[in-house]
Amino acid sequence: MKGKQYQLKCGAPTRRSNGTKSCKYLAGEGTDHLGYGHCMYHSKRSECEAWRLAQDIAREQQISPWEALLWGVRVSAGRLAWVELQLEDAIRRNELNGGEPDSPAVRSWLKESRLSLALMSRTSKAAIDAGIAAHVARQLEVEGRLLAGALDAALGALPELTADQRIAAISAAQQTLFSDSITDGS
């Protein structure tokens, strides 16, 4: 649990500032996806659709809409991989039996494979339209700021530390953060 909540902003670069400043509206302000993604001025139709889908899944699965987007990609990728295995298997069995190149089983798995691929494209596109890459980058930035603040407070509470001890503490913290971000790929 985090002690402090940061209110996410829309964050889109504003045209008036020529892209040097970012929009200060709240994430999803004035849209039907308040709290997520861009505000009503910067949210494209495809993004709104992505959030609608994410919110539906989120309600069903009782997870956050961000998790829902990633969940959709993961499930559809898993499904595609499984269908591809079945297809390979059907082709191999067909060859062993010396059958026609496209038996009904092969044809039906080919169809499944195309459907799974289409599903995965849709879920990936939804995640991209919702701005998943920017979100992950922002999340890391917020966490970095939180960590820097906590570290500052911790070192501030220990004024008698020598410079060497301070550097050792900071590098230990950095090392922990770095190894966590590598192993935490879930």
Residues 120-179 that bind Zn ion (CB under 5 A): none
d(CA 179, CA 50): 32
Task: Rank residues 21 and 59 by Cβ distance to Zn ion and give the closer one.
Answer: 21
Tally Cβ neighbours within 10 Å of residue 67: 15
Our finding on whether 27 is near Zn ion (CB under 5 A) is no
Our finding on whether 48 is near Zn ion (CB under 5 A) is no
Give DSSP secondary structure letters for 82-114: HHHHHHHHHHHHHHHTT--SS-HHHHHHHHHHH
Considering CB under 5 A, how many residues would be counted as binding Zn ion? 7
Give DSSP secondary structure letters for 15-48: TTTTTSSB--SBTTTTSSSTTSS--TTT--HHHH
Our finding on whether 33 is near Zn ion (CB under 5 A) is no
Our finding on whether 10 is near Zn ion (CB under 5 A) is yes
- Contact string 91-130 vs Zn ion (x = CB under 5 A): ----------------------------------------
Task: Rank residues 12 and 90 by Cβ distance to Zn ion and give the closer one.
Answer: 12
At which residue do the structure tokens 């190149």 appear? 101
Q: Rg of the chain over CA atoms, in angstroms? A: 24
d(CA 85, CA 79): 10
Our finding on whether 23 is near Zn ion (CB under 5 A) is yes
At which residue do the structure tokens 């709104």 appear? 48
Closest alpha carbon to 130 in 9, 28, 5, 25: 28
Task: Rank residues 12 and 83 by Cβ distance to Zn ion and give the closer one.
Answer: 12
Task: Rank residues 24 and 114 by Cβ distance to Zn ion and give the closer one.
Answer: 24
Our finding on whether 42 is near Zn ion (CB under 5 A) is yes
CB 28 to Zn ion: min, Å: 9
CB 41 to Zn ion: min, Å: 5
List residues near Zn ion by CB under 5 A.
Answer: 10, 12, 23, 25, 39, 41-42
